[in-house]
Amino acid sequence: MRLVSIDARRITDEDALHDAFAEAFGFPPFYGRNMNAWIDCMSYLDDPSAEMTAWHVAPGEVVVLDLGDATDLYRRRSDLYAAIVDCAAFVNKRRIDAGDASVLALAYFKDP
């Protein structure tokens, strides 16, 4: 398991979301800075040959994304909060459909 922490207070808009994730994961220079490109990069966290992130986990390992201050993000930008949650789920669904193991887990606390 590899733990990656993202301070959700940094995510003030779409650009800031992509900045935070590109920095934490080392997305390539051609990263499209949209959620489809985010999904593409995050889908290959265990495949160095894809060159979608600067670092990788071994096949079968999971990246745990610790989204700190998720409540703040949800209250300020519920659309971006939902995009992260939905797209993380899509990454795993895509992989499962292809016969691969899930590679991404979310860890966060959100007040109701």
2-107 topology per CATH: Barnase; Chain D (3.30.370)
Q: How confident is the model at residue 72 (pLDDT cuts 50, 70, 90)?
A: very high
Mean predicted lDDT score pLDDT of the chain? 96
Asked whether residue 110 carries a pLDDT value surpassing 80, the answer given is no
Single pTM value for the model? 0.95
Distance CA 37, CA 98 (A): 18
The string of pLDDT tens digits covering residues 9-28 is 999 999 999 999 999 999 99
Contact 46, 57 (CB under 8 A): yes
Asked whether residue 77 carries a pLDDT value surpassing 80, the answer given is yes
